[in-house]
């Protein structure tokens, strides 16, 4: 996998430092996480809905779940 690299200029946007992200580096979505590791900034897209899409592709479970509350007293007998 080739690493893309591009020279960009930093600028001020009000009190924030900013940069324009070139088209070939665009992130999907409308939000991202940013963190600093040493002198590097790491920007990662926030991918919403991916878990639900993944779960929709899985086969349903055929095993029944164990009755985990079988040996517990009824809720009305639990002291508060």
| pLDDT at residue number 1 | 62
Task: Return the C-alpha torsion angle 11, 15, 17, 19, nearest 10.
Answer: -60
Q: What is the mean pLDDT of residues 6-12?
A: 94
Q: What is the mean pLDDT of residues 12-18?
A: 96
pLDDT tens digits for range 31-52: 999 999 999 999 999 888 888 8
Beta bridge partners of 34: 43
pLDDT tens digits for range 53-67: 888 899 998 988 888
């Amino acid at each position: 996998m080739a690493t893309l690299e591009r020279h960009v200029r930093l600028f001020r946007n009000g009190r924030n430092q900013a940069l324009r992200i070139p088209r070939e580096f665009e992130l999907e979505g409308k939000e991202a996480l940013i963190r600093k590791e040493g002198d590097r900034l790491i920007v990662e897209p926030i991918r919403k809905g991916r878990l639900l899409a993944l779960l929709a592709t899985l086969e349903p479970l055929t095993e029944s779940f164990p009755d985990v509350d079988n040996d517990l007293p009824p809720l009305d007998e639990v002291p508060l």
